[in-house]
Amino acid sequence: MEKEVISCELHDFVEVACMYGYQLRLILKSGGTVEGKAVDIASADGRELLVIDNDTRQQIDLTTLAKMEVLTPNAKFSEVVF
């Protein structure tokens, strides 16, 4: 079974969001949403996870993302569709 991964280009957008600490709204493939500040990218069990700070730290599997909206004004980009 192949491991699901996102493209390098999409991964770069996630890294930029973490580097600048952008405030994000993540729309998940399941239809749910998560909002918070991008903090870091972590890995666990062969999966890459976006660490979001929204009063508590949450880890979101990058392969579950449908869209990432940047809420921070004057950001380098505003939206990425996965």
Total-model pTM: 0.92
Cβ pair 40, 20 in contact under 8 A:
no
**pLDDT score of 2:** 58
Q: What is the pLDDT of residues 1-13, one digit of tens each?
A: 557 889 999 999 9
**pLDDT score of 7:** 94
Residues whose CB falls within 8 Å of the CB of residue 26, separated by 6 or more in sequence, listed in order? 33, 34, 35, 50, 52, 60, 65, 67, 68, 69
CATH match of 8-72 with 2.60.40.3880: no
Residues whose CB falls within 8 Å of the CB of residue 78, separated by 6 or more in sequence, listed in order? 69, 70
Q: What is the pLDDT of residues 22-46, one digit of tens each?
A: 999 999 999 999 999 999 999 999 8
